[in-house]
Structure 1
């Protein structure tokens, strides 16, 4: 998963008159991730502190001179390196007020760029392909520079990489439509060439990006038709120079980005990590034409993870440092923070927070990846379940094909649609039907949204129960269920969909809390959740126990010393029983069915960073009611550890406290100012204090046990002895 956060302006721009150039030649990192150097395309360079959005220093070359490559920072010497008019190298530090007195040297050949990695030495790449360390070049500025490239061959892009303690300069050239990747190793000095495959006639790469991963140079490049390719070069087999021979470089197409009209003109792609790519200048898949977007794509699953509309003209430039994207657009250079979470199949489907008992009882009807990819046959079931008996009974109901059923859904009445879909599901293997279940569900949902009189509740429930659906396949299903107040279908979706977005989770929570109790009692729900709540509500209120060293009865008053011994505990229980003779905290603040539905929300996978903004949309009345219910669950769990039943749909104490923390983070001011929440907050505060006290006491016990283990035991203590052990 990935997210783009609210951006801010670093500085203004002065674009060129033709509006094809942003006016920025390059942005380089300085001493740390909060300092960058912005090089103007003409004469000036400015040092910015990003978090403060202000310049710390600025330098300008004389009138008539031009900075011809971006200025870099040498972290070893704390100096800046620039190139003016392709041949004049200047070096200065932050304390220098003017470039007139800075060190300068003129070289014999035109320079393409100076590269410098953090902690590395500056490297000079000449326009004709030669490479020199800056120190060796400045030792003899007039030394002859060889020509590596052919006569009509020109450099289009370059960078430098550090891999396995070796420094590489990577650059790409173009000659008559052919592009060649050059890989220059500095120590030992070797050069290798690789020829890129051609795209359609007349299409040349718009942008390049290179990273180092697992001893491979990974190249990413984007074409105007939206095709994004990935190529790798292993550094293990790099030996001596291979002369002028350019080896073919295989490529893999990572993404086919949307192109609205014609071809892309000013677009660029930038690698953020192993699975995420930032793209600017490419239309958003769900947005209309004429809008500029910055998007983060997941290359593993080929989906847009985050998108942000960018105002003004896009110049096809993008840089990233310290989880911040720097993008010039219009007359502004903006900084947009981003976050990319570690990507796996589980994280793509949702942050699963299940107990071991839930994982062990996962339904066996979900096909494995081996079955899907390699066609391995699933083990046949020897037990005929109720679902298989139903399937056998309806096996001869329908003989329509999938396309015929989809066409029928769009026009036929509800009864006929239900009959044909049920017949199709009964006569087809569910594992082989998985790709088609999404089409059926999407078609049913589309018609239900367009036609208020059409709604096939039983068919949608049957499709969800196949466990071949997820929210990504049919994103409007849960919202349709909320619109039709079909809370049973909502419950099933929350149970079976592992990828429900946080905004949909909060929409379900709001609907469940605001639902009248009269309507809630009319809903038929899954029996597991209902049985758990009935068991929880039926437990005796005076049943008090210790959970993780904490009992609410023992800490209703803030005692300075803990009670010790069974007599003290019994006395505290008796006192607390008198205090709580009217236990309003022991009464569930919501009805049984409403509590069951809220429990499904508590069990739904989520990511806290994405959930918090949507949780803030709850009203103060709903927040207090939700907190009261969480407090009710916490009290029940604290009094009786057996309240957390295994094998049923019941939230754990950890999940309850996680939601309490989220609710406090989202509505802290509201809760502090609400009188009804005061007692709840004090109760949770006592719980936290008791946990701190418990951990402190456990630490003392741990120290005592360690001292006992360290004591030397005497081999011969005689027939009788008294030994005193003192723990300090």
Structure 2
């Protein structure tokens, strides 16, 4: 399965705002780091010491990332959006290198492996580096509308065709087909809009290396939308675990994986996420202590590394990409039951098994009618919960909720977190309906990765403290193995719940640490953990004797009969 490897610091920076860009160099595992306003560094990925560096005067500011042009074996950069500077690796001072002045403002330069680099102008026009140098005094025709400029650009190859994707200042996207000399040969464009309150906080392109280039846009409502060249929506994903009020950086890793870097949902630190487009879910996460705004992230697919700007450093994050398997994403420890007998369905034939009567009976007639309709239509469990739980919560039908939880399995994690908070709003007494509902909820299996974010959003600080107190009391009275046939959570489930709640609300508990109730709670949890360790240690000492009994062997006799021991022997 795809995953991140341990990251490390490559080189110091002058600050996130001064990082202009990163690009691949001609040698394998070397990169060009362009530091604004006037420094270019050649760096090896495995060495913090720079291999080479070049600089310009303060007045000649570098305005886009520097690239290596393989056609003439030279490096290229843009100065003050008007001048192109080309030099060989042997050069030491860029002020001595000839500068080519252009009549139109240059947005950026894209390297194209095996071909000439492509110049992209502010008005959307493009051409190859060689053609641009010969026609640098010509006024470039506008590809964009009047007053519209390029804000982001991506260069992709689809079979033998080069495609330039432009994102503009007026929230439009252009898919431009390029000719052999890099000039535009027709384009498709559409406007990026999604409601009045939604804004674009991140985007990237996806190339399936066959015949389709699409664009991925992350909106501020948490939806990750994939658009075609014509602007049609191809897929929609829901993204969680990342702050949607700050900008987000996204890059393509391959045709089915993207990397997402943004502020953590708690707005403390940052999160680096590896997202699988095939299954529409995150398959790997990396928590980082600091978030840099604006976020900078670059990908070098040939080296399988990401480069992030974190505080004052450029950080390398290696990654590995493997096809994701569904059983790995759901539960890698799940063992397949080979003894289960298969059922053969006779499609189109009459079922010999009579229909199961609806066990759900509630207080209100309207809720019963809705329940019968869902049961007769064989609705999935998630739909049953989505339809019935809002009405049951509104009626405060605790017994009805308990009946629903006992009769229908696979409670979604969002409802598990919501019902936990609902059960903790009232007074919990031993043996009452709320206590019973809480025991059922704590006994339900769940995915901790999915539930963690829902717990952070759903549970208030008051409910968190109340739940931890309840869990501590259950842990104190619990046996190490739960009784079969009861709905009470066993020892392992209680430990997992306490760990999950502490992980989800660690910051809130840290802030409330001066409160006497919280102090007493933490002290009680510490005592329970210590007692559990002592109990497990005692069991560990008994294990060898039990093993000998199973093997029908006697324990070894103590052959030393003396009641003293010689500690020091001195030889003269």
Asked whether the equivalents of residues 208 and 219 of structure 1 are also in contact (C-alpha less than 8 Å), the reply is yes
Among residues 84, 90, 96, which one is paired with 2:79 in the alignment?
A: 84
State yes or no: 1:255 paired with 2:238: yes
DSSP 3-state at the match of 1:109: coil
The Cα shift of 1:420 comes to: 6.7
Which residue in the other structure is 1:295 paired with? 272
The Cα shift of 1:92 comes to: 2.1
The Cα shift of 1:28 comes to: 0.8
DSSP 3-state at the match of 1:10: strand
Spell out the pairing of 1:298-317 with structure 2 (5 A cutoff): 298=275, 300-302=279-281, 305-311=284-290, 313-317=292-296
Which residue in the other structure is 2:327 paired with? 346
The Cα shift of 1:330 comes to: 3.3
State yes or no: 1:270 paired with 2:251: yes
Spell out the pairing of 1:284-683 with structure 2 (5 A cutoff): 284-285=264-265, 287=266, 289=267, 291-296=268-273, 298=275, 300-302=279-281, 305-311=284-290, 313-321=292-300, 322-339=303-320, 341-351=322-332, 354=335, 358-359=337-338, 361=340, 382=353, 423-424=403-404, 428=407, 430=408, 434-435=411-412, 439=416, 443=420, 471=448, 485-489=478-482, 514=536, 516-517=538-539
DSSP 3-state at the match of 1:137: helix
DSSP 3-state at the match of 2:10: strand
The Cα shift of 1:164 comes to: 0.9
CA distance in 1, matches of 2:414, 2:291: 42
The Cα shift of 1:248 comes to: 4.9
State yes or no: 1:72 paired with 2:70: no
Asked whether the equivalents of residues 5 and 338 of structure 1 are also in contact (C-alpha less than 8 Å), the reply is yes
Which residue in the other structure is 1:133 paired with? 128
Residues 488/268 of structure 1: CA separation in 2 closer, same or farther (3 Å cut): same
DSSP 3-state at the match of 2:200: coil
Deviations 1:46-76 (A, max 9, x none): 1111221221111112342222221011345
The Cα shift of 1:93 comes to: 2.6
Residues 137/474 of structure 1: CA separation in 2 closer, same or farther (3 Å cut): closer
The Cα shift of 1:130 comes to: 2.0
CA distance in 2, matches of 1:511, 1:420: 40
CA distance in 2, matches of 1:303, 1:130: 37
State yes or no: 1:230 paired with 2:226: yes
Deviations 1:588-627 (A, max 9, x none): xxxxxxxxxxxxxxxxxxxxxxxxxxxxxxxxxxxxxxxx
CA distance in 2, matches of 1:91, 1:324: 27
> Which segments of 5 or more consecutive residues in structure 1 lack a partner in the other structure?
16-20, 234-246, 369-375, 411-416, 522-533, 542-580, 585-728
53-62 vs 482-491, which deviates more? 482-491
CA distance in 1, matches of 2:421, 2:327: 28
The Cα shift of 1:217 comes to: 1.0
The Cα shift of 1:135 comes to: 2.6
Which residue in the other structure is 2:507 paired with? none
Which residue in the other structure is 1:10 paired with? 10
Deviations 1:305-360 (A, max 9, x none): 414234264223221223433222433333334455533432211225746xx246
TM-score by length of 2: 0.63
State yes or no: 1:107 paired with 2:102: yes
Asked whether the equivalents of residues 39 and 53 of structure 2 are also in contact (C-alpha less than 8 Å), the reply is yes
Among residues 215, 219, 222, which one is paired with 1:219 in the alignment?
A: 215
Asked whether the equivalents of residues 237 and 280 of structure 2 are also in contact (C-alpha less than 8 Å), the reply is no
DSSP 3-state at the match of 1:136: helix
> Which segments of 5 or more consecutive residues in structure 2 lack a partner in the other structure?
368-388, 456-466, 501-528, 557-572
Q: Size of the alignment, in residue pairs?
A: 468
The Cα shift of 1:219 comes to: 0.7
Residues 439/258 of structure 1: CA separation in 2 closer, same or farther (3 Å cut): closer
Asked whether the equivalents of residues 325 and 337 of structure 1 are also in contact (C-alpha less than 8 Å), the reply is yes
Asked whether the equivalents of residues 206 and 222 of structure 1 are also in contact (C-alpha less than 8 Å), the reply is yes
The Cα shift of 1:84 comes to: 1.8
Higher strand share: 2
The Cα shift of 1:296 comes to: 0.7
CA distance in 2, matches of 1:39, 1:143: 28
CA distance in 1, matches of 2:482, 2:128: 67
Asked whether the equivalents of residues 270 and 291 of structure 2 are also in contact (C-alpha less than 8 Å), the reply is no
CA distance in 2, matches of 1:144, 1:8: 46
CA distance in 1, matches of 2:88, 2:332: 48
State yes or no: 1:169 paired with 2:191: no
334-343 vs 31-40, which deviates more? 334-343
The Cα shift of 1:205 comes to: 3.1
Asked whether the equivalents of residues 226 and 264 of structure 1 are also in contact (C-alpha less than 8 Å), the reply is no
Larger radius of gyration: 1
TM-score by length of 1: 0.52
Asked whether the equivalents of residues 279 and 297 of structure 1 are also in contact (C-alpha less than 8 Å), the reply is yes
The Cα shift of 1:230 comes to: 1.9
CA distance in 2, matches of 1:87, 1:27: 21
